[in-house]
Amino acid sequence: MTDTIIPSDAGPLVNVLALRSAGFAGQILTPEDANAYDAARAVFNGMFDRRPAAIARATTAADVVAALAFAQAHRHPIAILAGGHSVAGYSTIDEGLLIDLRPMKGIEIDPVGRRARVQAGVTWGEFDAAAQQHGLATTGGRMTTTGVAGFTLGSGSGWLERLHGLAADNLLSARVVTGDGRVLTASETEHPELFWGLRGGGGNFGVVTEFEFRLHAVGPTVFGGMVMYPRDRAPEVCRHFRDFMRDAPREIAAGLIFMHAPPAPFVPPELRGRPAVAILGAHWGSVDDGARVLAPLHEFGAPPVDVMGPIPYVELQAITDPGNPPGRRNYWRSELLSDLTDDAVDAFIACAASATSPASVMIMAPGGGAVADVPEDATALSGRSATWFYHCYGIWTDPAEDEQHIGWVRASEQALRPWTMTGMALNFMSDIDDTRIRHTFGAAKYERLVALKDEYDPGNLFRRNQNIRPSAAK
């Protein structure tokens, strides 16, 4: 930590003493802090190697209030970092002040009331570990390192969603620091309009320092895991998966993943490193019920890779971690689908076959269930009637190859366009323009979000997000 005025070779100076005087008590890192600064500014997507003038590592809501006041007084642009998983690079910035919430790690589980209070720096791995000590969970990320904060504010799609809804649907209240320094609680009864907007409107209205969630009984051991086939079996595997999931009970979570088989001991040598298609599935009842109900997926076509069976919920939540290390280059698209016809399945298989990087992945998963139970107007999120959604992840390491891999993602998006419908996929999008944001929310919700923005952030201080532009900016 440095307590002097630091000239940043990246841009304007950040007056560290003035940040302290504003009441910021947490650690402050500048480029002078070499290794610690570099570690703190690194985000998941290796395409964003940005150099903030300073990183203010908040430990309390008071730190957030102080950092926001300081940034506004000194006209520093800001970025807010929680889990650092924004694939669009929103949570980092060149030259401005990065407010890093990761030191805010508080977690309180109320096992009787089945509620959790978590601070903004908590990841889903940390959340699940704490809640599972009581056999409880809420819908969380499909990777342990994703932040609770950005995930929930943008929707929060996870394996539990068909039974328990999105993370945003399980949010009971949020503590929010607004740009003018107010600390508010938003819930169905306090600032309900703000609460409506926080569930899908991202970080547009302030910094959420604490989230309160509803919890559900899950596990601790469930039946789940993965089966995998060589890619040439994709047509039959996809159709079987689609037909099974169409009528599957909401206690079943599942997704179809097009990937290259990892060089893991459980993969036969002839499949390692080869194009494959996998089904990842779980059941939220007893292990015996899960084995029985999942049998049609588990046993279909004698899969050459079968790692499905009793598994602790926390291990299931971490199952895709090893295949997704941080630091690689990522360019993503995701869309909701109104139906998964045979033509759509074939188009999806063709897109996966034309992937330009072996690290790239395509995922198809069913919507519906508890997500569709929530009325369309209850939150800012749109598209709850979608029956399927897909993700197309371009992933590679060499910057010289950017164009070809980005081109593949964009071409796949176009190829699948006939079956897509608009709605809540913004959390998974790499570059999102104003038109796409308006279209995703729909005109009526967008206007409602603009009214909230005008009330809570008329100067657009919080703009490194899926930005709702205030009226004054139009």
d(CA 339, CA 243): 12
In three-state secondary structure terms, 342 is helix
Q: How far apart are CA 249 and CA 354, in angstroms?
A: 33
Minimum Å gap between C-beta 381 and ligand FAD is 11
Under a CB-based contact definition with an 8 Å cutoff, are residues 278 and 298 in contact? no
Residue 379 binding ligand FAD, by CB under 6 A: no
Q: Is 200 in the site for ligand FAD (CB under 6 A)?
A: no
Q: State yes or no: residue 151 binds ligand FAD (CB under 6 A).
A: yes
Tokens at 301, concatenated: 């076509």
Q: Which of 85, 115, 191, 199 binds ligand FAD (CB under 6 A)?
A: 85
Segment near ligand FAD (CB under 6 A), from 141-149, 227-235, 279-287, 366-374?
141-149
Candidates 53, 68, 82, 259: give the one binding ligand FAD (CB under 6 A).
82
Task: Out of 154, 255, 367, 423, point to the residue binding ligand FAD (CB under 6 A).
Answer: 154
- Judged by CB, which is closer to ligand FAD: 271, or 388? 388
Q: Smaller CB distance to ligand FAD: residue 257 or 271?
A: 257
Closer CB to ligand FAD, residue 6 or residue 161? Answer: 161
- Is residue 290 part of the contact set for ligand FAD (CB under 6 A)? no
77 touches ligand FAD by CB under 6 A = no
- Among 90, 241, 388, 389, contact with ligand FAD (rule: CB under 6 A): 90
Tokens of 329: 């280059």
Per-residue contact flags (x/-) with ligand FAD for residues 302 to 341, judged by CB under 6 A: ----------------------x-----------------
Comparing CA positions, the residue from 370, 453, 384 lying closest to residue 193 is: 453
Asked whether 128 and 317 are in contact (CB, 8 A), the reply is yes
Quote the distance between the C-alpha of residue 339 and its chain's center. 24
Cβ-contact 233, 277 below 8 angstroms: yes
Secondary structure tally for the chain: helices H, strands E: 16, 21
Out of 41, 76, 115, 142, name the contact with ligand FAD by CB under 6 A.
Answer: 142
Residues 439-468, one symbol each (x = binds ligand FAD by CB under 6 A, - = not), give: -------------------------xx---
Q: Count Cβ atoms within 10 A of the Cβ of residue 139 and give its class: 0-12 exposed, 13-18 middle, 19 or more buried.
A: buried
Q: Is 143 in the site for ligand FAD (CB under 6 A)?
A: yes
Structure tokens at 76: 């520093």
Measured distance CA(157)–CA(124) in Å, rounded: 12
Nearer to ligand FAD, 2 or 460 (CB): 460
Instruction: Out of 284, 428, 446, 456, name the contact with ligand FAD by CB under 6 A.
Output: 428
Backbone angles phi, psi at 92, to 5 degrees: -150, 165
Our finding on whether 362 is near ligand FAD (CB under 6 A) is no
User: Taking CB under 6 A as the rule, does residue 156 contact ligand FAD?
Assistant: yes
Is residue 91 close enough to count as binding ligand FAD by CB under 6 A?
Answer: yes
Nearest distance from C-beta of residue 472 to ligand FAD, angstroms? 21
Q: Contact, 74 vs 96, CB < 8 A?
A: no
Q: Decide if residue 87 touches ligand FAD (CB under 6 A).
A: yes
Residue 80 touching ligand FAD (CB under 6 A): yes
101 near ligand FAD (CB under 6 A): yes
Can residue 86 be called a binding residue for ligand FAD (CB under 6 A)? yes
The single-letter DSSP state of residue 262 is P
| Contact positions with ligand FAD (CB under 6 A) in 201-220 | 202-203, 207-208
- How far is 463 from 459, CA to CA, in rounded Å? 9
Q: Are strands 97-100 and 78-81 parallel, antiparallel or unpaired?
A: parallel
Please state the closest distance from residue 268 (CB atom) to ligand FAD, in A: 27
The answer to the question of residue 48 lying near ligand FAD (CB under 6 A) is no
Q: How far, in Å, are 31, 269, 293, 316 from residue 265 at the CA level? A: 43, 8, 27, 18
Examine residue 427 and tell whether it contacts ligand FAD (CB under 6 A): yes
Radius of gyration of the chain (CA): 22
Taking each helix axis from N to C end, the angle separating 443-456 and 434-441, rounded to the nearest 10 degrees, works out to 110
Half-sphere exposure of residue 269: CA atoms within 13 angstroms, side-chain side: 0
Nearer to ligand FAD by C-beta: 122 or 340? Answer: 122
Backbone angles phi, psi at 185, to 5 degrees: -105, 130
Query: Which residues are near ligand FAD by CB under 6 A?
Result: 44, 80-87, 90-91, 101, 120, 141-143, 146-147, 149-151, 153-158, 202-203, 207-208, 324, 427-428, 464-465
